A and B are shown apart, each in its own frame.
Chain A
């Protein structure tokens, strides 16, 4: 379905040197799969998503959707961004209908598809509201409906729930699972939240940093809809955290220099504990 072959990406820095952000990424994604790209910030997972979306060009390598190499952005790949990126001058209905009108569909067709997708995210009551009148979670739902309305083969999500509070996030994770089961879309989901990845995915791709590379891939074989804190999922979370620890430490050291030491700061430390000087 989606084949990512030997993707490399480097940016030219101001001093003329090249910063490599992605190194030799190979992925094979099956139709209807829910894949999470998981890694610490700065590992290039969002860059990879942008490349798949066609918003950025890779330095080398190719991306094939159903055997055809992509060139630029296209409506076969819908994207949901971290900040919903809705058009503030359009109401919910017009936002969702935007791509349909662009395609030149007939008016009643546009209306049917748009309303259908707004229903899918339970926002029928708000179809005439403007983005500024909605909460963060509702905006994100509109963004999902907007992406689904194009009926893309692949849905790309770039930390879509990253800016939301915990309750809203859980609600939307649950709803996303339902939408995914109904529509059977292929979803590529970028996140830095381990629990979120474990909750949602069939497959988790763990990214290493500097340069970004695929460190390990996990299959999550648990029945859906999933519930939190089931033994297997918790066990998996721990396993992933162990792998990521090393990467997080690498990033922290890069940012803070030698002042930072992951092992040291993870020592148990109790503010009431004194060295006996108060006896």
Chain B
């Protein structure tokens, strides 16, 4: 409604500020024509590859940090510093290392998701209730079995939260990477639409991005996190 009113007031020329109906029209044709779907497929492929690598590398480094004080004080401090660099800042280097293209963007996505996952995994493992470990020891469990059967499951709540935040970071990194990089993704489509002066396309893509972000969080991560927190008895509501 407000959107329509501003449109009618004609503060900006029609080309710069399209009406809701125009945007709806673009969305409809974008999907039916397949252009949005191809862009989505490309973006999601990069996101999923990058995210999977981020989770793997992040969890592994997190385990390393939690397992030794020395590693924590050296690598841990280093990663904390890396975490404060927005991952898009790496793009110039990534372009030099991997050339402009698919790999460079995936690299940015990986960097976007990894550091947070490292921190979540290491805090998760450090915060495992020591009585659980004691209890397991009295049942004759030790060594790697203690690690995989007790310590890892006990830190799952932290890991899930880490995964959720990493997803958000990776998603942002992907968009930034695609805006500046090449290929056929949502971000590139957005830049292309801007160059053509097709604002209704720009807004359509923004709507797609917002919807996807909230849908994945609301339909996948939030319910998963809630279920885990409840099962692990960490939900303050009961």
Contact = CB atoms under 8 A, between A and B. Distances in A.
Interface of A: 53-55, 72-75, 77-79, 81, 83, 85, 87-89, 98-99, 102-103, 130-132, 146-147, 150
A169 B238 CA distance: 23
B138 A53 contact: yes
Contacts of B230: 132
Given A132-B231, A150-B140, 20 more contacts: A53-B138, A54-B138, A73-B140, A73-B142, A78-B139, A85-B129, A85-B132, A87-B150, A88-B233, A89-B154, A89-B156, A89-B232, A98-B139, A99-B141, A103-B140, A130-B231, A131-B233, A132-B235, A147-B138, A150-B139
B145 A102 contact: yes
B139 A99 contact: yes
A87 B134 contact: no
Given A81-B135, A87-B150, A89-B156, A74 B231 contact: no
Contacts of A98: 139
Interface string B112-131: 00000000000000000101
B141 A85 contact: no
Interface in B135-158: 135, 137-142, 145, 149-150, 153-154, 156
Interface of B: 129, 131-132, 134-135, 137-142, 145, 149-150, 153-154, 156, 230-233, 235, 238
A153 B145 CA distance: 24
Contacts, number: 67
A78 B136 CA distance: 10
Contact of B232 (A83, A103, A132): A132
A150 B139 CA distance: 8
Contacts of B232: 88-89, 132
Contact of A55 (B129, B138, B150): B138
Contacts of B135: 79, 81, 85
A103 B140 CA distance: 8
Nearest to B139: A99
Contacts of A87: 132, 150, 153-154
A102 to B, nearest CB: 6
A83 B233 contact: no
A75 B132 contact: no
Contacts of B156: 89
Contact of B140 (A74, A83, A89, A147): A74
Nearest to B132: A85
A100 B192 CA distance: 63
Nearest to B157: A88
A132 B233 CA distance: 5
Nearest to B131: A85
A103 B230 CA distance: 30
Contacts of B139: 75, 78, 98-99, 102, 146, 150
B153 A73 contact: no
B231 A89 contact: yes
B137 A73 contact: yes
Contact of A102 (B141, B153, B231): B141
A130 B231 CA distance: 7
22 contacts: A53-B134, A54-B138, A73-B137, A74-B138, A74-B140, A75-B139, A75-B140, A77-B138, A78-B138, A79-B138, A83-B131, A85-B129, A87-B153, A87-B154, A88-B231, A89-B153, A89-B231, A99-B140, A130-B231, A132-B235, A132-B238, A147-B138
